[in-house]
Structure 1
C-alpha cells in the first residue's frame, strides 16, 4: 500500500492541537476559516466495497473544504489488521479512515486497533445518529463505540440461481444440501471472513436449523457445523471474496450461490450476472442484517483526526446518505430515516427500477430481523469455519 507522508507530524504538539481545534470548529461552523488551514490528505481504505456507495459523497466534501484531499485504496479485510498493527507499532499513521463491514470491525476491536469515537464526540455525532433507522441503532451497538454505521442492508441469507439450470429453488437447508449433492460443484460461496453473503449464510443457518443458541457459535451451533461439513462434500472450493463467486455464477461454471440483497441486484446491474437470474428466500427465514461502518485507526495526529471526524459527520447527512442507494450494491443503503429513493441520483433510481426485486419489500416486512454476531463472537465463528469447514479448500 502506498505510504503517504503526513506533514502534520512535523508540527509541534501545540501547533497540532491548535490546528485540530481550529479546523474542527471552523468545519462545524462552515466558516471560510476552515479553508485557510494547511492542506490535509486523508487516506481512505475500503475493505468491503464501501466506496461504491460513498466515494462520490466523500469527494464532494472538497467543494466546501478545498484544502482537504483524499486518496482511496482497497484491501482484503483479513489482511488489514496486521498491516495496521505494524503501522501503529512503528508510530506511523498511513491510513486515516477505514470503511468496512462487521468483519473488519470485529477483527480491529479484538486487536485494539480503533479509536473510541463515543461518547467523546457526542456533541458532533449525536444529532446525526439520533436519525438512525431502528435496525441501524441495533447494528450500532455492535460497534462498541469504535465505529459509526454509514450504510444499511437487511442482508439475507438468500439463494441466487440460474433458472435454466435450477428448476425448483431450495426452500430449506435440507433441500439445498440435497440439490448440492445431486449437482456436485455447482453450488459455491466465499469464505465468510471476507464475504458478506458468506458470513450472512453462516449466521443465518442457526435460525433455519433450529440450533440451541444462534448467538453462540462455540457451544450453540452443533447443527450448523454438522450441516456445513456435510455441505462441504459437494462444494469444490471457497473463493476469497464474493466478486469471484459472482463471476463464476455469471460465466456459468456454477449454478447457485448464497447471496444478500445488494449482491443480488448490483452484479446484475453491472452485467456480471445475467439480468434474468432469480433469487429465492428460505421458508421461515430470519434476516441477518448488515452494515458498513466508518472506523478510525489509532495513531492519527489530532489535526488530521479532527478532519476525519468532520468527514464522517458529513457522510451522515441526508444528501450524502441518498448516494448510498448507488446501483443496489448495499440495498437499500441509507442508514438514517427519511431518505427515500427519490432523493437518490437519477442513475440510482433507474437501476433500482430495472434490477430491483418487487418481492424484497414483502420479505423484509414478513420475516424477522436480527443483528449479526457480536464482534468477538464473530471472529470465533470465522475461525471455526476456517478450521473445520474451509480447511484445504481455500483459493
Structure 2
C-alpha cells in the first residue's frame, strides 16, 4: 500500500505520544460476527451534524437494519483532526482496529490521498452509481459523498434592503457599516472558512487555485498574502472591532438576535433554522459572485483498517438510498448527492435548482489546515 506523507503522519504520532487507546487489537480476520454489527462513526463537525447522525440517521438505519447498532465518536469543530489522522495512519500501518468504521470529516480527502480508506464500487455500495462522476472523483481514493451544501450570505432584510451582489460589494458594505458583520474563525466552522477562502481567492490565479483545491501545494501559499492583508484590514469594521465567534452556530445567533446584520452561513443550517423558527422571518439569504462562496459535497470514508468493512458498506449503502438521502434533505436541508429522479417528489421540488456538481469547491484538507494557522497569525488583532 502506498501511503504518501506517511512518515510525516507517523512523526506526529510520536511527537504527540499518541496511543491507540480504546481500540480493539484484533485484526479484520478475527472479528466476531456480533462485533461486525456494532459500528462507530467518527464525526469531525459542528453540532448540527452530530444531531443529524444521532437523532435522525442512526435511529432510522437501526430500525431498517435490525441487529445493527451505531455509536458516535464526536470531535467538535475538528479541533483534534491532526491527532485523528495520525491515529488512523498508525492503526493502518500496525494493522489494528482504529476504533471507528466510518469517518465524516473535512479531512477525508487527505486520508483518501494517503491510501487509508477502502475504495468502494457499485458492487459494494450500489448508490455510488447514482452520484455524478465528477463529485465522486473529487472524493479521491475512497471518499464517498453523502450530502452537499454551500455557504451563502445571510442578511437582515430590515437593515439591508439591497444585499451585496459581489465580493467587492460585500467588502465595501462591511466598511460602510462597522460592527454589523462578522464570521467565525476558520478553524471553528466552514462558513467562516468559506469567507476567508473567498477573499483569498479574489487575487489568486486560476491555475494556483486549482492546485490548492486538488492537492497539497504549500509552495503556492504566498499567493494568499494580498488576501490576508485585506482580511486584517477588516478588523476595525467587524463585530465589536474584531470579534470572530467560535463556530457557525454563534454567528447565526448574533444574526438572529439583531446584533449583526450580515454574515456568511451554511445553506443547510440556515434553511433548517428558518424551518424550526430559530431564525426570524426578517432574515434572508443570497449568493455573491466574483467569486461566490465555496460549497460542495461532504465525504465519508471507510478506514481500510476497520475489521467491520461489510457493516460500514451497509451503512453507506443505506445513506445513498432514496430513504437515506430524503432524511438528510429533510433534517438539515442538505443537497442530495444522488440523481434527483431517485428521490421523492417533494425533495425533487426543493432542490431542482441546486446543482451539486457545479459548486465552487473548498481547499484540499491540508491546504485548509495551513489556511487556518495562517489566519490566526495574520488576521485577528492586526
TM-score (norm. length: structure 1): 0.72
Q: CA deviation at 1:89?
A: 5.0
Distance 2:331 2:65 in 1: 27
Q: Distance in 2 between matches of 1:171 and 1:61?
A: 42
**In the alignment, is the contact (CA less than 8 A) between 1:269 and 1:275 conserved in 2?**
no
Contact preservation (8 Å) 2:180, 2:259: yes
What secondary structure is seen at the aligned counterpart in 1 of 2:163?
Answer: coil
| Cα distance change, pair 264–63 in 1 and its aligned pair in 2 (3 A) | closer
When the two chains are superposed, the root-mean-square deviation of aligned CA atoms in Å is 3.6
User: What pairs with 1:139-218 in structure 2 (closer than 5 Å)?
Assistant: 139-153=135-149, 155-156=150-151, 158-205=152-199, 209=202, 211-213=204-206, 214-215=209-210, 216=212, 218=221
1:245 aligns with 2:251: yes
Deviation at 1:241, TM superposition (A): 1.1
Task: Name the CA distance, whole Å, in 1 between partners of 2:345 and 2:243.
Answer: 41
Partner of 2:373: 383
Listed as ranges, the gaps of 5+ residues in structure 2 are 1-19, 213-219
Contact 1:322 1:339 (C-alpha < 8 Å) held by counterparts = no
Inter-CA distance 105–382: structure 2 relative to 1 (3 Å threshold): farther
Alignment partners' CA distance in 2, 1:142 and 1:386:
28
For the pair 1:99 / 2:96, whether they are aligned, the reply is no
**Using the alignment, how far apart are the partners of 1:270 and 1:46 within structure 2?**
24
Residues 56-71 of structure 1 mapped to structure 2, 5 A cutoff = 56-63=56-63, 65-71=65-71
Name the counterpart of 1:308. 312
Matches within 5 A, 1:223-372: 223-235=226-238, 236-286=242-292, 288-297=294-303, 299-300=305-306, 302=307, 304-330=308-334, 332-342=335-345, 369-372=359-362
Q: Is the partner of 1:67 in helix, strand or coil?
A: coil
Change (3 A) 1:150 1:85: same
Q: Structure 1 pair 229/139, CA: closer, same or farther in 2 (3 Å)? A: farther
The answer to whether the 8 A contact 1:53-1:325 is kept is: no
For residue 74 of structure 2, what is the aligned residue in structure 1? Answer: 74
Structure-2 separation of matches of 1:308 and 1:185? 47
- TM score, norm. by length of structure 2: 0.74
Deviation at 1:184, TM superposition (A): 2.4
How many Å separate the matches in 2 of 1:257 and 1:327? Answer: 23
Residue of structure 2 equivalent to 1:34? none
Structure 2 vs 1, CA of residues 198 and 327 (structure 1 numbering), >3 Å: closer, same or farther?
A: same
| Cα shift readout 1:89-137 (whole Å, capped 9, x = no counterpart) | 585633332223xx33256568x5x732216x56313x421210x3xx3
Q: Distance in 2 between matches of 1:87 and 1:286?
A: 34
- Runs of 4+ that moved beyond 4 A: 3-6, 51-55, 86-92, 106-110
| CA shift in 2, pair 1:15/1:122, >3 Å | same
CA distance in 2, matches of 1:224, 1:361: 34
The equivalent residue for 2:40 is 43
Partners of 1:69 and 1:328 lie apart in 2 by 23
Q: CA deviation at 1:143?
A: 2.6
User: What is the aligned partner in structure 1 of residue 15 from structure 2?
Assistant: none
SS at match of 2:263: strand
